[in-house]
Structure 1
Amino acid sequence: MTDNWTAVAMAFVALFLVGGIVSFLKQGLKKGALLLAALAALATTTAVLWW
């Protein structure tokens, strides 16, 4: 676990971005939510591959 701090950090970034997606959708900003969804997917992929 000591070498996986980057993966854990990226997982938290992905969760933070998911919260942003929910917020953007509530505000009606669909393009922003789509951008955050792509970034969240990249962060999740990074966390899984780093693990």
Structure 2
Amino acid sequence: MIAEAERGEDAAKKAYRDALAKDLPADLHDMIQEQYSTVLDTHNKVRALELQQTA
């Protein structure tokens, strides 16, 4: 189950990277960057849970 969550987060990370690579208004770019940071933090927490599960 954790591995499936991680795969979903990988897809979200790619979508955010793709969006951030576009020429966006500054306020929209900042909002997407903030959301992307949250996705990365969550991904790291899920990864840590996965590592704990296999230990």
Structure 2: segments with no counterpart, 5+ residues: 51-55
Structure 1 length as normaliser, TM-score? Answer: 0.53
Q: Which residue of 2 aligns with 1:42?
A: 41
SS for the counterpart of 1:27 is coil
Equivalent pairs counted in the alignment come to: 48
> Sequence identity of aligned pairs in percent?
0
Per-residue displacement from partner, 1:13-49 (whole Å, max 9, x unpaired)?
A: 01111111112xx235253454244235325424533
TM-score normalised by the chain length of structure 2: 0.51
Gaps of 5+ in 1: none
Matches within 5 A, 1:8-47: 8-23=7-22, 26-29=23-26, 30-32=29-31, 34-46=33-45
Q: CA RMSD in A?
A: 2.6
Call closer, same or farther: CA 1:14–1:50 in 2, change over 3 Å: farther
